[in-house]
Structure 1
Amino acid sequence: MGTLSSRVLGLVRDVVIGHIFGAGGQVDAFLIAFKIPNFLRRLFAEGAFSQAFIPVLAEVKKESGLSGVRDLMAHISAWLGLWLLLVTTLLIVLAPYVAIIFAPGFWYHGDLVKLAQTTATIRLVSPYLFFISMTALCGAVLNTYGNFAIPAFTPVLLNVCLIFFAVFGSSWFEPPIQSLAIAVLVAGLAQLLFQQPSLYRLNVFVRPKLSFQHDGVRKVARLMVPALLGVSVSQINLLLDTVLASLLVDGSVSWLYYSDRLSELPLGVIGIAIATVVLPVLSNTHMAQDSDQFRATLGWAIKLVVFLGLPASAALFYLSEPLIATIFYHGEMDFHSVEMSSLSLRAYSLGLLAFMLIKVLAPGFYSRQEMKTPVKIAIWSMILNMVFNLMLVYWLKHVGLALATALSAWFNAGALYWFLRRDMKFYVGRDIRAFLLRVLLACAVMIGFLYLLLPAPLFWQTQSIYARVYAVSGMVCVGICVYFAAVWAFGIRFHHLKR
C-alpha cells in the first residue's frame, strides 16, 4: 500500500511540475541535475549495496542473531557513510565538470544559462545522495525483519516535499525551479529520520564503528563489486539516454522524463513491490537449502508479474496519448509536448513487462550471493542498448532512445531466465505457459473494448480537463472490469496467484 501511495503521489508530483514549469528549459536542467544523485544512490544504496547486503544480513541474522546484526549494522553504516560523504563532497566541488559530462548538449549548443543552472542545482541536491543512501540501508534491515510498510511508505515524503515547494516555494527563488532542489534536500533528511524509530524498536539502532577487519563488511564489499558493475550498467543506459537527449531539440529530456515517469508507475507498484518481497524470501529459502521452495517462489513471482504487468503494458501503449493529455496537458504544457511524450511512452511500454521480469529474476541470483552472471548479462545489455541508441536516435529521435531501452530490457530478461534454467533447473512449465496464454487473451478482449470507447484524436486537444478526466477514468474503469471478467472467464482463479 505504501508503494502504491508513493507512486500515485509521484505522478501527482510530476503533474504539478509539468503544470507550473512545463517542458524544456529550466525543467531539463533540474531533471539532469537530479538524475546524478539518483544514479549514484542506485549504485551505492538501493542497487548494488542492497543486493549484496541483504543476503549477508540474512546469513548473519540466522547464525548470530540480534548481536550479530547489531555488530554488522555498526560497521557497515560507518563504511557506507564514509564513502557517501567523500562522493558527495566531490560532486559539490566538481559540479561544473559533472554538468558538462551529463549534459554535453547544453555546452554543445552554447546554452550557458542552462549549463550554469544545472551546475547550481547539482550542488544543491548532492547531499541528497548521503541521506537517501543511508535511508536505503535502514530500509534493507527493516525488509529483512519483515517490515515492508515503512520503507515502502518512505518515498512519499519526497513527493510531498516536491509538491509543497513547487506550489508554495517557486515564488521564493530565482530561478523558480531552484525550489525543487531545496525540496529534494529537505526530503532526503526527512526520509532518513522517518525510519529511525522503527530501527530503534527492533533494537538495531547502533552507533557506527569503523574497522578495517570486519568480516561482514569485507563480505558485503566483495559481493558488491560485481553487483556494482551490474547495476551501473542499467543506470549508465539511462544516463546515456539523457546525454543523447540533451543533444536533441529543446524539451527532449522532459519528454522522456514524463513518459518514463508514467511507465514507472506500474513498474513500481507491481515489479519493484514484488521484488522487494521476493529477495528476502529467496535468501531465506536458499539458507534453508529448500530448492523446491526457491523455484516455487520464482514461479509465483513471474505469474503475478504477468497477471498484473501485461495488461498494464497493453493499456499504456494503447492509451498513451489520452493518458499524457489528461495528466499533463494544462498550465505551461503545450500539446506538442503531449504528442512527443506519448510517442516515447509507447516505446517504453513495449519493455515494461521485461523490466518487471528483471526485477523478479535477478534476485534469483542475488539471493544465492551469485553476482557474476547477472553482471555479465547486464554488460551485454548495456552494449546492446548503446548500439540500439546509435541506430535509432537518428531516425526516431527521443523515441528511438526509449525503444532501445525496451529492446535491451527484453534481452536482459531472456538471458536471466536462460541462466536460471541452466543453473537452478528453473523452468517456465506448462502451467505458467497456459496462464500466460489466458492473460494474453484477456488483454486482447480488454483492448477490443477500449477500441470501441476511444474518442477521436482531436478530442484530447480541444476538450476541457474535466472532459478528458471523465473520458480516461471511464475507459480505465471499463478496461479493469473487462480484464478481470475475461481472466475469470478463461479460468484464472485467486488460488492461482497465491504463493
Structure 2
Amino acid sequence: MSRKLLKSGLIVSSMTLLSRLLGLLRDIVIAHLMGAGAAADLFFFANKIPNFLRRLFAEGAFAQAFVPVLTEYERTKSVDQIKTLIAAVSGTLGTIVTVITILGVLGSSVITALFGFGWFLEWWHGGEEAYKFELASLMLKITFPYLWFITFTALSGAILNTLGKFAVAAFTPVFLNIAIIGCALFVSPHLAQPEIGLAMGVLIGGMIQFLFQIPFLRKEKLLVKPTWNWKHPGVVKIRTLMIPALFGVSVSQINLLLDTLIASFLQTGSISWLYYSDRLLEFPLGLFGIAIATVILPSLSASHVSQENNHFAKTLDWGIRMVCFLGFPAMLGLIVLAEPMLRVLFMRGEFAMQDVSMASMSLWAYGSGLLSFMMVKVLAPGYYSRQDTRTPVKYGIIAMLSNMVLNIIFAIPYGYVGLAIATTISATLNACLLWFGLYRSGVYQVQKNSLSVLLRIVFSGLTMAAGLALFNPSLSEWAQFALFDAALKLFALITAAVIGYFMVLLLIGLRPHHFKVSADND
C-alpha cells in the first residue's frame, strides 16, 4: 500500500509541480506588468473572492465530504447507484452554485464593500482613491463566474481521484495559469486598465478547466445528466457533512480574507506584498502538503469503510512523516532564501527592490508556518474520512477567533507583516488541536519509528539551513547581480541545500523503509 501511495503522491506532485511552475511564471508576468501597486491590489482582490468560495464549495469542504461518501458507494453499491449519486450531487450542488454565482455577479459592489471596506469608505467620502472600489467591483463581476466552472471541475476531479485517476485533476490547474499568462501578454497591453485583461484570463481559465475533464468522465462512463435531488440519501449525507466542513476546512481561507479586509486600510501595496509572499508559500504547500492529503483521503476512507483501524492509523502516520520529511526543509529554505527568491522571480518591470524587501518580511512570517499549514491539510482527512466534520469545526472556530484577536494585536505595530504573523500562529494552533483530537480519540497512534524519523529530519533540516545562511549573499549583493547570474546563484544554493539535506539524512541512518506504511522497524 505504501508503494501505491508513493506512486500516487509522485503523480500528483509531478502534475502539481508543473502547475506551480506555470503559476510562478504567471506571477512573474503579473509582477512585470503591474508590480505591487494599486492595480495589482485590485486584481488580487477580485481573484481572491471567487477562489475563497471555490475552496468552500469545491476543493475544500465539498471534496472532504464527497470523497468518503463516494468511496462508501463504490465499495458497497452498484454502478447504477453510483451514477445516481453523481447525478444528484452535480444537479443539487450545481443549482446552488448557479444561484450563488448570479447573486455574486449582481451584488459585486456589496461584496467589494464588505471585504474591501477601506476602499468603500474612500469611495463613500469621494476621496482620491474612490476608483479602487469601482474598479474592484467591475473586476469581481468578471471573475466571479469562475466559481461556477471550477465547482464542476472539482466535482469531476474528486470522482477521478476516488477511482485512483489522480493525474487528470492535478494537471487541470495548468490551464488556468496558461489562460492568465495569455491574457496578460496579448490582451492586457491593449487595455487602458491592464488588470481587467487578467480578470478575463481567470474566467477563460475556469471554462477551459471545466471542458478539459469532461472526456475523462465519459471514458469512465460516469458522465451523467445532473438532476436536482435534495433528499437523495447520498446528498443528505454529503450536505450533512459539508455544512460544518464549510467552516472547518476553510479556516485558513477565512483568515486570509480577514487579512485582505484589514490590509485595505493599510498602505498601498500591502495586499500585493502579502499575495506574492503567499504565492511562494503555496508552491511547497501544493507540491507536498495538498498532494499528500489528496492521495491519503481515498485510502483513509476505504480503511474506515472496511474497519481496518490499524491500517487507518498507519496511513495517517505515513502522511505526517512524509509532510515533515518534505515540508520541514522547505519551510527552512523558504525563510533563509526569501529575499533572493523574490528578487529572482519578481524584480523586473514595475516590481522594484523595495517591493522585494517588503514582501520578504511577510514571507518570513508566512514561511515559519508552512509546516503548520501542511499539517492542517494532512490531519483534516483523518476526520473527514470518518465522516466527522463537527470536530474540526470546533477547532476551526478557536483558530479563527484567535486569528481575529492576533490580527489586531500584531497589525497595529507591524502592519501587513503582523497579519501574516497572526495567520501563522492561528494555523499552528489549528494543527495542534487537530493532532491532539485524533490522538485523544485513539484514532491516531504514533508509530514506533516515527519519533526517531522526525528527530533525524529536524537535525538534517537545521544543518541544511545553517549551510544556506552561511553561503547566502546579502540583499544588497543580490541586487547587484544580473538576473541570469542571480538565478544561477539561487539554483546553485537550492541544489546544494537539497543534496546536503539528503546526505545528512543518509549519514544519520534514515532509509526508504522508514516511509513504508507498514514499517515498524527503526
Coarse TM-score class (shorter-chain normalised): over 0.9
Q: Is the contact made by 1:26 and 1:117 (CA closer than 8 Å) also made in structure 2?
A: no
Cα-Cα RMSD: 1.1
Q: Is the contact made by 1:108 and 1:247 (CA closer than 8 Å) also made in structure 2?
A: no
1:366 to 366, 380, 384: 384
Partner of 1:354: 372
Shift of residue 428 of structure 1?
2.8
- The residue type equivalent to 2:112 in the other structure is A
Partner of 1:407: 425
Q: Distance in 2 between matches of 1:456 and 1:55?
A: 49
Shift of residue 232 of structure 1?
4.1
2:47 to 34, 38, 44: 34
1:266 aligns with 2:284: yes
1:67-466 paired onto structure 2 within 5 Å: 67-109=80-122, 110=127, 111-466=129-484
Q: Distance in 1 between matches of 2:414 and 2:34?
A: 26
The C-alpha deviation readout for 1:220-240, integer Å capped at 9, x for no partner, is 111111111213433221100
Q: Distance in 2 between matches of 1:460 and 1:246?
A: 31
Shift of residue 108 of structure 1?
3.2
- The residue type equivalent to 2:306 in the other structure is A
Cα 1:225–1:425 shift into 2, 3 Å = closer
Q: Distance in 2 between matches of 1:124 and 1:4?
A: 28
Q: Distance in 1 between matches of 2:253 and 2:322?
A: 26
TM-score normalised according to structure 1 size: 0.98
The C-alpha deviation readout for 1:416-460, integer Å capped at 9, x for no partner, is 111101113423345211111111111122122213321233112
Structure 1 unaligned regions, length at least 5:
none
Between 227-236 and 362-371, report the one with greater CA deviation.
227-236
Residue aligned with 2:175, SS: helix
- The residue type equivalent to 1:181 in the other structure is A
Q: Distance in 2 between matches of 1:457 and 1:177?
A: 30
- The residue type equivalent to 1:88 in the other structure is T
1:487 aligns with 2:505: yes
In the alignment of these two chains, the number of paired residues is 499
- The residue type equivalent to 1:256 in the other structure is L
Q: Distance in 1 between matches of 2:135 and 2:105?
A: 14
Q: Distance in 1 between matches of 2:276 and 2:475?
A: 20
The C-alpha deviation readout for 1:446-491, integer Å capped at 9, x for no partner, is 1222133212331122221112111111111110110110111111
Residue aligned with 2:192, SS: coil
Q: Distance in 2 between matches of 1:90 and 1:425?
A: 42
Q: Is the contact made by 1:320 and 1:342 (CA closer than 8 Å) also made in structure 2?
A: yes
Cα 1:466–1:438 shift into 2, 3 Å = same
Q: Distance in 2 between matches of 1:13 and 1:124?
A: 19
Partner of 2:520: none
Q: Is the contact made by 1:61 and 1:68 (CA closer than 8 Å) also made in structure 2?
A: no
Structure 2 unaligned regions, length at least 5:
1-13, 518-522
- The residue type equivalent to 2:77 in the other structure is S
Between 59-68 and 125-134, report the one with greater CA deviation.
59-68
Cα 1:367–1:410 shift into 2, 3 Å = same
TM-score normalised according to structure 2 size: 0.94
Cα 1:452–1:211 shift into 2, 3 Å = closer
Aligned residues with identical type, % of pairs:
45
Shift of residue 319 of structure 1?
0.9
Q: Distance in 1 between matches of 2:180 and 2:230?
A: 39
Q: Distance in 1 between matches of 2:27 and 2:180?
A: 9
